[in-house]
Amino acid sequence: MNFNLQKELKIIKKDFQEKNIKKQLANILTASRLLAPFILIPLMYFNKLNIFLIMIILFSLTDAFDGYFARKYNAVSEFGKYLDALVDKVFALSLLIPIIIKTTLNTSNFYLVLIIIFLEIFISLLNTYSFIKKLNPSSTIYGKIKTYILFILLSLLYLNKVININSIILEIFIIITIISQIITTNSYLNQIKKRKTVINFSS
């Protein structure tokens, strides 16, 4: 299915004009996670850990319910899928950046975690490019595995603030995360290359 941003935005505008909010409830919940960096990063920086954890739970709930409402109100769209994928990366970065400041800033792992951030941003840019060029990008098994590994690493980094986790274990997961990101990046680049070739051949 081709992704037509202008058409999707017109549908969203029409739903709001007609006050058909339930059709856009899923997108509203998804978009709310874009606020995560502006809320989570300051909370972690100022050591407001209780509020920080509450906000993580609330943001996670929006991730759990946006798909439910999209299916319930028959509002599943290519725009919603793209927005969800993009917002998930923003949410992951809003969890990753503050923990870097707090736990890895003065350690040997700091630059490795910076690589993780760079690769995550680069993967997001690849997905955005694919949608703009109407290459119909799709999630790959590598991307899903990478996401799981990234969140395991995040969990370990946050858990390390409560109990001391062996630094070797953290380093292993940091390296595994980087490897999975590189594999995911390569799979998306190959996907883009193949679909551009198909489009050029068809035209």
**pLDDT tens across 76-122, in order?**
877 787 788 778 778 878 877 777 767 666 667 778 888 888 898 89
Q: Who wins on pLDDT, 119 or 194?
A: 119
How far the first Cα of the chain sits from its last, in Å, is: 18
CB-hemisphere CA count at 13 Å for 105? 7
**pLDDT tens across 156-171, in order?**
877 777 788 888 888 8
CB-hemisphere CA count at 13 Å for 168? 0
Please name which of 52, 53, 87, 90 lies closest in space to residue 67, comparing C-alpha atoms.
87
Confidence of residue 184 (pLDDT cuts 50, 70, 90): very high
Quick check: 81 and 137 in contact, CB under 8 A? no
pTM recorded for the entire structure: 0.69
> Computed from CA positions of residues 103, 149, 90, 66, in that sequence, does the dihedral angle turn out positive or negative?
negative
The rounded radius of gyration (Å) of the Cα atoms in the chain is 19
Our CA dihedral for 66, 70, 76, 79, rounded to 10 degrees, sits at -40
**Is pLDDT above 90 for 196?**
no
**pLDDT tens across 3-62, in order?**
566 777 787 888 788 787 888 888 899 899 999 889 988 888 787 878 888 888 898 888
Q: Who wins on pLDDT, 202 or 186?
A: 186
Helices (H), 2-161: 5-17, 21-32, 36-45, 49-72, 78-99, 110-132, 141-159
Q: What is the pLDDT of residue 183?
A: 95
Residue-range domain boundaries for the chain: 1-83, 106-197
Instruction: Give ∠ CA 20-25-29 in degrees, rounded to 5.
Output: 155
